[in-house]
Amino acid sequence: MPLPYLWQALKAESRPIIIYGMGNGAEKVLDACAQYQIPIAGIFASDDFVRYQQFRGYTVKRYADLVQELGEDLVIVIAFSAFTDALLGRIHSLCEKHTVYAPDFDVFTSRYPEADFIESNHAAMEQAYALLSDDRSREVFKQLTQYKITGLVDHLFAAHDTRESCLPLLGLGTEECYLDLGAYRGDTVEEFLKATDGRFASIDAFEPDPKNRQKLTEYTDSLPHENITIHAAAVSSASGTLTFTGKGGRASHLSDEGYEVPAVAIDDLQLSPTYIKMDVEGAEADALNGMQETLRRCRPKLLVSLYHHIGDYITLPLQIDRLVGGNYNYHLRMHPYVPAWDIMLYATPKEN
């Protein structure tokens, strides 16, 4: 079986390959390199994090150390997530000097695009591409697809648009009934309030992680609004209980191991949202299946995460279009991030 393009390219490299980062991302990269017998010449971290500690048998060094040892003709593999201006700027500067990859993995697994990624998804890709409503969306789709098969970071930079520049696509008004699915600690509630100048009809915020929900509640309690409801539940295809893992961070998610949390299907609540934001850590498909009646009845504006699984940017828009019955505008955007996280779908109903 042929190797996926990224790993094939790395295996064929004659230049030294070094990894930037430690932790879970580096574990995934090192495991894949071991599987494909790709030699790694060293590991480095940002200078503030270097203590010349050991990681998987490598001494973690500074970038300058490895350049001095190996020369400047290097290949760099990014093995952590970056979204701050400082880190993205550093990665961009590395791209100007070196070939830089950032392998695309599922957020919570070690799965990455296989060698037949385009061939096996060709029909669905054509359908998802045809849904897109503007040239920028189509360009983002092309850049993301190129990134997923090559791992080259340059394609990600070409796909980036700031979140602030994209929010106007939703056309949020001052009478929205907002469902925040995966409300975390209140950052997207705050974003919504800024976009609507603090005027809205209602907010229903769903957050199953207890520590995150405590922070969310503290934030909403500080607001001068009474029409905000916090739901201690995950969202899914059916109401009941689900197993959840998390310790109060962004990585909290449904899992086979952990503790039980209440789960609700949005259809069972008989709410009437005009706007739904969904970032539920990989459970988006199930959550959508639990709100089909609500989507068709209310035809809300949607902001949906498309990055927890490799093919989400293909499959979720198609699922949404099927569930809403079509007649929506679809804008695909990716906010500044390395690797391909923060891919978002901005969807709004067309005027009849």
pLDDT at 259: 77
The structure's pTM equals: 0.93
pLDDT band at 173 (very low <50, low <70, confident <90, very high): very high
Tell me the mean pLDDT in the region 162-191: 97
Q: Is residue 206 part of a domain?
A: yes
Q: Is residue 342 part of a domain?
A: no
pLDDT at 114: 86
Q: How far is CA 221 from the centre of its chain?
A: 28
Shared-domain flag, residues 188 and 94: no
Among 103, 119, 153, which residue terminates a domain?
A: 103
pLDDT band at 342 (very low <50, low <70, confident <90, very high): very high
**184-235: pLDDT as tens digits:** 999 999 999 999 999 999 999 999 988 999 999 999 999 999 899 999 999 9
Shared-domain flag, residues 187 and 279: yes
Q: Is residue 202 part of a domain?
A: yes
What domain range includes position 36? 5-103
pLDDT band at 242 (very low <50, low <70, confident <90, very high): confident
pLDDT at 3: 63
Shared-domain flag, residues 179 and 277: yes
pLDDT band at 252 (very low <50, low <70, confident <90, very high): very low
Q: Is residue 128 part of a domain?
A: no
Q: How many domains does the chain have?
A: 2
pLDDT at 276: 98
Among 53, 75, 103, which residue terminates a domain?
A: 103
Q: Is residue 146 part of a domain?
A: no
Query: Is residue 251 over pLDDT 60?
Result: no
Among 87, 103, 119, which residue terminates a domain?
A: 103
Q: Is residue 347 part of a domain?
A: no
Shared-domain flag, residues 181 and 291: yes
Q: What string of DSSP letters covers 106-125? A: -SSSS----TTHHHHHHHHH
81 close to 339: Cβ distance less than 8 angstroms: yes
Q: Is residue 112 part of a domain?
A: no
CATH classification of the domain holding 289? 3.40.50.150
Q: Is residue 49 part of a domain?
A: yes
Q: Which residues are CB-neighbours of 106 under 8 A, at least 6 positions away?
A: 112, 282, 308, 309, 310
